[in-house]
Amino acid sequence: MIHSLFLVNASGDIFLEKHWKSVVSRSVCDYFFEALERATEPENVPPVIPTPHHYLINVLRHRIYFVAVIQSEVPPLFVIEFLHRVVDTFQDYFGVCTEAAIKDNVVVVYELLEEMLDNGFPLATESNILKELIKPPTILRTVVNTITGSTNVGEQLPTGQLSVVPWRRTGVKYTNNEAYFDVVEEIDAIIDKSGSTITAEIQGVVDACVKLTGMPDLTLSFMNPRLLDDVSFHPCVRFKRWEAERILSFIPPDGNFRLLSYHVSSQNLVAIPVYVKHNISFREGSSQGRFELTLGPKQTMGKAVESVLVSSQLPRGVLNANLNASQGTYTFDPVTKLLSWDVGKINPQKLPSLKGSVSLQAGAFKPDENPTINIQFKIQQLAISGLKVNRLDMYGEKYKPFKGIKYMTKAGKFQVRT
């Protein structure tokens, strides 16, 4: 399956290589570099590149290309999903997944890769098992290791792989037993010129941070589970129980994990929490264009819209922008033509606006396209779909855990066409 892995940074250098079968020369990456050159944007590199003897499957995360070399037929998603899992693991271990972090921890990276694949076939990809095998580096541990000469590799033999619940470590102990659940919903929407919604969907996830002693068995129920149209679960969730009773019953992994992701059916009307009034116009022959933007809250269920960030890719002919923001700051990058406006919180009494003029290249034609406006925002303590957790119960252990549930709504891919 997966033959080798090369890590390539943004400037096109291979900074790590790992082979699971016999060694494949790094010159195979030349085909990848060719494709990289052809692609106008970094994300336009085709994920699968055929070469005379190999196939290269790559993913781009954190400005690093993870290029896997395979030699024969294998489902491409298999490799892609695995590579993403590798990145997630790195992120889990090092906090960030950057070139520097990988270089600093190259030995741990190598040990991880060694455990994750055997002869190119995934072996242990559960973070809980890996952490039993290889302890994540922390500052304290690094210091201790340097002094005492002890190692990062788990002393005892890992039994997690053999357990009936492979996603959970055995012998977990905490002094404070806590279970936190974050219900995060994202609104994906396309709003057309006139302000009417072309398409809007809500995608949500329930992320959990569970720090409970022993082998707890949790059940989580929703007030309105029928809202969930399409769901996908962490393997720990008992599917039949969900099918029958719409209750999430599971023995949680230790630590952070994504319990559930869901889609709220598109038949339901989606509340759009912000509106945009815009007037962007360029006149023929003139080197100036008008630019006006006003934001306002729409259906927010009485909650404040925060961390609002507006960005827009202006046409290539635009030279500069002279704008006035009633609130927050704006920046315009004359090279990439990217305008971004950090609005902050929307005050319903005094709506934030960005007004002014944009200057065009002299003699250039009026751009025939209008820019799309991308909006990001956050609303705390609100799940826009109305989903509510009913209760969380724990069985199998005697202590009383501390339970917490947080709701949040965010903009996903929220675009306004002008």
Q: Which residues inside 31-60 make contact with other proteins, applying CB under 8 A?
A: 40-41, 43-44, 46-48, 50, 55, 58-60
User: How big is the site for other proteins, counted in residues (CB under 8 A)?
Assistant: 115
**For other proteins, which is the closer residue by CB, 125 or 340?**
125
Q: Which of residues 341-360 bind other proteins (CB under 8 A)?
A: none
User: In 246-377, which ranges are continuous DSSP H helix?
Assistant: none
The 10 Å Cβ neighbour count of residue 98 is 16
Among positive and negative, which fits the CA dihedral 144, 145, 148, 150? positive
Give me the least distance between CB of 143 and other proteins, in Å please. 10
Window 199-218: contact mask with other proteins (x via CB under 8 A): x-x-x-----------x-x-
The angle at the Cα of 379, spanning 270 to 269, to the nearest 5 degrees, equals: 5
Nearer to other proteins, 165 or 389 (CB): 165
Show contacts with other proteins in window 292-351 (CB under 8 A). Answer: 313, 315-316
State residue 242 phi and psi, 5-degree precision: -65, -45
26 forms part of the interface with other proteins (CB under 8 A): yes
Q: Give the footprint of other proteins on residues 143-162 (CB under 8 A).
A: 146, 149, 151-155, 157-159, 161-162
Tell me the CB-side half-sphere exposure of residue 221, using CA atoms within 13 A. 11
Of the CA atoms within 13 Å of residue 133, those in its CB half-sphere come to 20
Closest distance of CB 322 from other proteins, Å: 22
Should residue 84 be labelled a site residue for other proteins when binding is judged by CB under 8 A?
yes
In single-letter form, the type of residue at position 394 comes to M
Task: Give the residue, chosen from 101, 172, 237, 272, that forms a contact with other proteins under the rule CB under 8 A.
Answer: 237
d(CA 141, CA 152): 8
**72 counts as binding other proteins under rule CB under 8 A:** yes
Of 241, 303, 345, 388, the residue at the interface with other proteins (CB under 8 A) is 241
- The pair of structure tokens assigned to 21 is 């079968």
Task: Decide whether 261 or 340 has the Cβ nearer to other proteins.
Answer: 261
Where do we find the tokens 């990001």? 376
For other proteins, which is the closer residue by CB, 33 or 78?
A: 78
Binding mask 88-127 for other proteins (x = CB under 8 A): ---------------xxxxx-xxx--x---xx-xxx-x--
Q: Are 2 and 20 in contact (CB under 8 A)?
A: yes
> Please, what is the minimum distance in Å from the beta carbon of residue 237 to other proteins?
7
Q: What is the rounded CA–CA span in Å between residue 2 and residue 86?
A: 13
Question: Is 101:35 a contact under the CB 8 Å cutoff?
Answer: no
